[in-house]
Amino acid sequence: MKRQIIHIDADKCNGCGLCVPDCPEGAIQMINGRARLISDLYCDGLGACIGTCPVGAITIEEREAAPYNEALVMENIINS
């Protein structure tokens, strides 16, 4: 399905990590010093993380993506 989802520009990202705690769904993790969207399933596309990024590396795009899976997110939160 086509839907709204975050996009992280790896060239702009400075690795500050501020966006990670701002995503309660756990969709963003730091990998090799850069923020990465770890799974489409965890991103609700609402963009709570966007305002946090000091360099404007996070935007919303519309693309083919798996649907947001709230049950999986809850499971991830409980297990973390």
For residue 50, which amino acid is it? Answer: I
Rounded to an integer, what distance in angstroms lies between the CA atom of residue 57 and that of residue 6? 10
Strands (E), 20-72: 28-31, 34-37, 58-64
Binding mask 11-50 for ligand SF4 (x = CB under 6 A): --xxxxxxx---------------x---------------
Give the one residue of 5, 58, 65, 73 binding ligand SF4; rule: CB under 6 A: 58
Give the one residue of 27, 53, 65, 73 binding ligand SF4; rule: CB under 6 A: 53
Best CA proximity match to 42, nearest among 78, 3, 10, 74: 74
The site for ligand SF4 (CB under 6 A) is made up of 8, 13-19, 35, 52-53, 55, 57-58
